[in-house]
Amino acid sequence: MSVRVGIGYDSHRFAAGRPLRIGGLTVPHTHGLVGHSDGDVVLHAIVDALLGAAALGDIGSYFPDDDPQWKGADSARFVRGAAEALAAGGLRVRQVDVTIIAEKPKLAAHLGAMRAATARALDVEMSAVSIKAKTNEGMGWVGRGEGIGAVAVVTVGPAETG
Ligand code: MG
């Protein structure tokens, strides 16, 4: 099997009084992201990209949001689960690239730690994980600060060729 590419997108709404979990970290902010799990848009986008690369469906089919076992779950568990599903099919993650779209908070200072946490969840080198952040120039729901979006692209390849 040759190298395959997957894309994932996710968005979550802000609510006051929740920790902001993003990229496997807790980032200080007035609001957190609402979700059945910890609401980590970055890791959810990566999970969908992983499953997409292997044509294995999506995050909702593996980790349904009406399943109590995933309530409040650390989304790193979803990343590990998706990576295990790929491994069962003889595939391994090669590289991940993520763009976060968020008006607030400023995320630049946290991107290195997000890369490290994401690489740990994926069991890959940090150099295989890119995470970038940008604003939406004040436009639309992101611009109004209603939530955060993330897009991920991954490449996966045969496990045996390293
Ligand atoms: Mg999600």
pLDDT in tens, 24-55: 999 999 999 999 999 999 999 999 999 999 99
Cα(43) to centroid(ligand 1), Å = 8
One-letter amino acid at 141 equals W
- Here the CATH number for the domain that contains residue 118 is 3.30.1330.50
The pair of structure tokens assigned to 152 is 């991920």
- How far is ligand 1, taken at its centre, from the CA of residue 161, in Å? 32
d(CA 57, CA 121): 20
Give how many domains the chain has, as a whole number. Answer: 1
Q: What are phi and psi of 152, to 5 degrees?
A: -130, 140
pLDDT interval class at 73 (50, 70, 90)? confident
- Domain span at residue 31 reads 4-158
Instruction: Please tell me the distance between residue 10's alpha carbon and the centre of ligand 1 in angstroms.
Output: 5
Cis peptide before 105 (omega within 30 of 0): yes
137 CA from centroid of ligand 1 (Å): 23
pLDDT of residue 160: 75
Token readout for 8 is 């994932």
Global pTM?
0.96
